[in-house]
Homo-oligomer: A and B are copies of this chain.
Amino acid sequence: MTPTPVSHADLVSASAAEVRAAIRSGSYAGHTAGLAAGKLQCNLAILPERSALDFLRFCLRNPKPCPIVGVGDSGDPSLPTLGHDIDIRTDVSKYRVFRNGTLAEEITDITDVWQNDFVTVALGCSFTFENALLRSGIPVRHIETGKNVPMYRSDIALEPAGQFSGKMVVTMRPIPEAQVAEARAISGRFPQAHGAPIAAGDPAQIGISDLSQPDWGDAVDINPGEVPVYWACGVTPQNVLLDAGLPICITHSPGHMLIADVAEDAETTILKSN
C-alpha cells in the first residue's frame, strides 16, 4: 500500500513523533527545517563499532563542530534518550551511505544496509541557535532569503583521534555590528548546538579567501554595517568521516535531520528512558 504523501506545510505544527511517523511510513521525504517547532534536530553519523571509540573521542575533543547529543548501543537502532520510539533505520527522511570514503547512495530507509555492529551518534545542529537568534530579533540572512547557509573550509586544525582528523568547516551569517555581542551571548547558551561563534570579521584570519565562493550552500549578501560571523558547522564531522575512508558509514542528507522529542533549549539533551 502506497502511503499518502504529506507536505512540509502539513507537518509544521506536528509533534516530533508525528513527523518521525510520517517519515517512517514513507509519507514524507523532504527537509526538516521548521518542523516540530521547539524540538532538537540532530546531525547523524552511523559507523561500525570498531571505529566508534575513536569517533567519540574525536567528537569529545572537538565539541564546537561535533557536539554529541545522543549515542546508541552497538547494533541497536533505538535512541531512547532522544525519543521514546526512534528507529534510526527509518526515521530520517534521507540518508547518505558512504563506502570507502565515497558516496554510494542516497536513500530514504537504511533497514537493508543496517549492520549488527553499527553505532549511531547524534550531533547538535545550528537550527537550535538560529531559532533563538530569530526569537531575539537578530536577522538570519539565508533564512530571510530562502537560501542554504554558506559553509566554508577553514584552516582551523581539529584535534585528531585515531583515524579522524582534518580542518573545521564553518558557517557564516552576516550580523548587524550592533547585534554581534548579543548573537554571541545567545548562541553561547547552546553548547549542544555549536555554541558561540569561533570568529568574526576578516575571513582570512581563519583561512577563507572569498566569502562569495562558499564550499557548500549558497553565498549571501553582507550589507553595509554587517559583520560576517563564523560558527563551527556540523558538516565538519561528515567531512572527517568521509576522509577516514571507513568501509561503510551513514549520515543524514543535508537538511534532512533526525527530530528528537527533546526540547531544543533543554539543559541536557537526555530524556529519561525509564
User: Of A12-20, A21-29, A55-63, A86-94, which binds chain B?
Assistant: A55-63
CB-CB under 8 A from A60, the residues of chain B are 56, 68, 70-71
Q: Within 8 Å CB of A191, what residues of B?
A: 191, 267-268
* Max chain B Cβ within 10 angstroms of own Cβ: one of A60, A70, A73, A80: A60
Give, as a whole number of angstroms, the nearest-CB distance from A159 to chain B.
6
Report if A49 contacts B (CB, 8 A). Answer: yes
| A81, B56: Cβ atoms closer than 8 Å | no
Is A139 among interface residues, defined by CB-CB distance under 8 A? Answer: no
| Nearest chain B CB to A138 CB, angstrom units | 19
Q: In the bound complex, what is the Cα–Cα distance between A150 and B111 (angstroms)?
A: 49
- In the assembled complex, A195 has its CB within 8 A of some CB on chain B: yes
Alpha-carbon separation in the docked complex, A80 to B57 (Å): 13
* Closest-CB distance, A185 to chain B (whole angstroms): 11
Q: Is the CB of A159 within 8 A of B63?
A: no
A223 within 8 Å of B (CB atoms): no
In the complex, the chain B residue whose C-beta lies closest to that of A62 is B270
A267 pairs with B196, CB closer than 8 A: yes
The digit string for A126-168, where 1 denotes a CB below 8 A from any CB of B, is: 0000000000000000000000000000000101011000000
What's the minimum C-beta distance from A247 to chain B, rounded to whole angstroms?
18
- Chain B residues within an 8 Å CB radius of A273: 159
A64 located at the interface, meaning its Cβ lies under 8 Å from any Cβ of chain B in the complex: yes
User: Across the two chains, which residue of chain B brings its CB closest to A119?
Assistant: B53
Given contacts A61-B81, A191-B267, 13 further A-B contacts (CB under 8 A): A53-B74, A53-B119, A56-B60, A60-B71, A61-B270, A62-B270, A73-B161, A80-B159, A157-B272, A159-B272, A159-B274, A191-B268, A195-B267
